[in-house]
Amino acid sequence: MLIDKLQQAFRHAGFRKYFFNTGWLMADKVLRLFAGLFVGVYVARYLGPERFGLLNYAISFVGLFIAFATLGLDSIVVRSLVQNIEDRDRLLGTAFILKLMGGILLFGFVAFAVRFTSSDSYTKLLILIIAGGMIFESLKVIDFYFQSQILGRFSAMAGICALCASSLLQILLVFFQVSLVWFAVAQVFSTGILALILFFFYFKAGRSIFKWHFYWSTAKELLQDSWPLIFSGLVIMIYMRIDQIMIKEMLGTEEVGLYAVAVKLSEAWYFIPMTIASSFFPAIVNSKKQSEELYYQRLQRLYSLIVWLALAIALPTTFLSDWIIGLLYGEKYNGAGNVLMIYIWAGVFVSLGIGQGKFWLIQNLQKQQFVITSSCSIINIILNFILIKSYGITGAALSTLISYALGSLLFPYIIKDARKMLKISYKSFYIKVFIK
């Protein structure tokens, strides 16, 4: 029965298009996962908990401001391209200039904010180098076009090429035993090379950036839809990275290193729900034009799929956390096992939140999403203050898990228009919904 259904599905041209698009994107992310494990572990072992913690502190600090570089435009531009592909050059040109200005704005904010930290001059240098690399984010607008046209193979090939170059660079840095600052430079290199390769594939696809145009009217339209996402993105990054900032201030750099390896392992697979949701986003947008029933049916299937994938990953990791940390990172990182055991379960709610994010965007409820995210961020910070003092880095993991769960399963109820979405979120945990 299942084989017959699969054969029937593959006869459908639209299904094959989305399936192979997702396959390309998944291949890129799987390679990125393995490279992250092997190269990332190689780098972490070389740097040790203290220096690795310092590098991740710098990355997290810049991450607090990354919303100014992205400007919340990613899904907005993809949605606009799906709906009005004839405006491609106007949309991409306008988005490019906006994101370039956002990258410069981010650098300015970071340069100003870092003056008020207790960090030494060396740490501030690491932060500024990584912040400078965010200007290259503007070059990634090409990927919006590929996403909208279900051309994931171009994005995947660009990602694979950039990954190989970045991984080789990091291996060489360890081989020659260079200073920590060069690993910060490698972060910039990785972002820049990906953007340049995307441009190459855009030209190869027969498109030209010289046809792009910037329009103030289009910029206003995009920012009108995206400004709630800018603030929401700012809150999300505070939500996701403030724990490492607080750990450094309350416990020290070495504890950040231990916490960071557990977080990286826990988040390594997040590309799966993100890739699935991004690949099928155009189909969900189009289904809403056809009928509400089909729209919610597709959302239900998306939610069920990514939630059960998350559960399948979280359960075995809970019992193998200490063994995984010891095998990959060695005795120096032993304290990270308990963090991994707890933090891995946050992925269940992150996956559900990724799916819910598509609903907020399609329904144009970005302002309401911002309210919920802000509330969860505040709760996370309060819990961090309480639990880090009592339980150390394990307390930080607990704070994250609790706040993520509240944001996915409780707080959306306060938004009347989101209650139907919340209902299918609950149903996502039922096996019978998944296998229908």
Same structural domain for residues 168 and 283? no
Same domain flag for 251 and 191? no
If asked whether residues 431 and 303 sit together in one domain, one would say: yes
- 204 plus 237 within the same structural domain: no
- Pick from 214, 246, 270: which residue ends a domain? 214
Residue 280 clears pLDDT 80, i.e. is over it = no
Q: Are residues 169 and 245 in the same domain?
A: no
User: Quick one: pLDDT at residue 150?
Assistant: 67
Tens digit of each residue's pLDDT (9 = 90 or more) over 393-405? 999 999 999 999 9
Is 48 part of any domain? yes
Task: Establish if 5 belongs to a structural domain.
Answer: no
Averaged pLDDT, 277-295? 78
pLDDT given for residue 7 in this prediction: 47
Radius of gyration, alpha carbons of the chain: 21
Q: CB 290: neighbour CB atoms within 10 A?
A: 9
CB neighbour burial string for 18-50, b if at least 16 within 10 angstroms, e if fewer: beebbebbbbbbebbbebbeebbbebbebbebe
Whether residue 342 is predicted with pLDDT greater than 90 in this model: the reply is yes
Q: Does residue 184 share a domain with residue 80?
A: yes
The residue segments making up the domain with residue 356 are 228-436
More confident site: 64 or 25: 64
Of 159, 190, 214, the domain-final residue: 214
Model confidence at 169, pLDDT cuts 50, 70, 90, reads very high
- Residue 1: is its pLDDT beyond 60? no
Are residue 41 and residue 116 in the same domain, yes or no? yes
Whether residue 342 lies inside any domain: the answer is yes
Q: What is the DSSP letter of 165?
A: H
Q: State the Cα–Cα distance between residues 112 and 128, nearest whole angstrom.
A: 10
Q: Per-residue pLDDT for 288 more than 90?
A: no
For 116, counting Cβ atoms within 10 Å of its Cβ (0-12 exposed, 13-18 middle, 19+ buried), the class is: exposed
Same domain, 37 and 181: yes
Is the separation of the CB atoms in 199 and 141 below 8 Å?
no
Which of 101-115, 150-164, 232-246, 252-266 is the least confident region?
A: 150-164
Residue 86: inside a domain? yes
Exposure of 242 in the CB half-sphere (CA atoms within 13 A): 20
- Considering the domain architecture, whether residues 94 and 126 belong to the same structural domain is answered as yes
- 13 inside domain: no
Q: Residue 113 in 3-state DSSP? A: helix
Count of domains forming the chain: 2
Most confident of 338-342, 368-372, 422-426: 338-342
Strands (E), 73-206: none
Q: What is the pLDDT of residue 171?
A: 93
Residue 222 lies in a domain: no
Give domain status of residue 347, yes or no: yes
Mean pLDDT over 110-133 rounds to 88
| Whole-number pLDDT of residue 17 | 56
**Each residue's pLDDT tens digit, 142-168:** 888 887 776 767 777 888 888 888 899
Better-predicted residue by pLDDT, 20 or 161 = 161
Percentage of the residues of the chain whose pLDDT score is greater than 70:
92
Measured at the alpha carbon of residue 314, what is the angle toward residues 300 and 42, in degrees to the nearest 5?
125
Amino acid 10: pLDDT: 46
4 within some domain:
no
Residue 219 makes CB contacts below 8 A (sequence gap 6+) with 94, 97, 98
- Residue 21: the pLDDT is 60
Residues 387 and 322 in one domain: yes
Cα distances (Å, whole numbers) of residue 343 to 40, 336, 398, 399: 19, 10, 7, 9
CB atoms within 10 A of CB 324: 18
Residues 300 and 209 in one domain: no
Please give the pLDDT value at position 423: 87
Q: What is the pTM of this model?
A: 0.76
Closest CA relative to residue 352, chosen from 289, 307, 382, 389: 307
Residues 198 and 253 in one domain: no
Domain end position, chosen among 179, 214, 249: 214
Residue with tokens 């149903």: 427
For residue 436, pLDDT beyond 70: no
Mean pLDDT of the chain: 84
